Structure 1
């Protein structure tokens, strides 16, 4: 996909959501998001141990306000607000998530639900909200 096509895709709120993508495309996606005036936020999940650790990393990367309660409901509330981070759209890159995603708990599925619900609510306001999980190509192939 060329840079123009990528920008056109990222500009469409109806297409936005949580997706697993090829890690080799991360730089191009970040550049396209920045070119569109999006808040491009990288959340590094390498070595992430559990839900509490994930929430702490998300809160730090997104500069959540003091009222953030470090639970799933608070994450949903914060992602659906983002008034402290005004932008034309949002592009979250949840990097190095493969180990955290592979854990036996329901946390990865819960996170995906929250991200997709947030994206749908932002789409109603015609603002794209993307949450991308860059994975190694072999991991993507294994998921398919």
Structure 2
């Protein structure tokens, strides 16, 4: 049975998002860019399920221990960028108490990018800890060498 256009478009969108992410990560063989705190926080929130704007703001602050405080204007600019990169999708609108809520969800490409970023951060953390342990074992105290 032939694949529908929506399915083909979704797969193309996911492949394009992954290609863009990998291109940004390895221009001329050098690490150049990772997800910034706002984008990473938004993807982490949406990994927990579909959310509306205010819930994303609140949960991003909670997950970051207060380090990431998104403003409404910067949130929607980031959501628009993430959506155009294929990392998130619009997941419907609801009216609650007379106010429109726009919902967003993590796309499959967004989940893959979030996993790659989590792995990259875990590797950096592991290397930093190993180097600090080696420094301590070598007897380095504070001050210049």
TM over 0.5: no
Structure with larger Rg:
2
Q: State TM-score, norm by structure 2.
A: 0.30
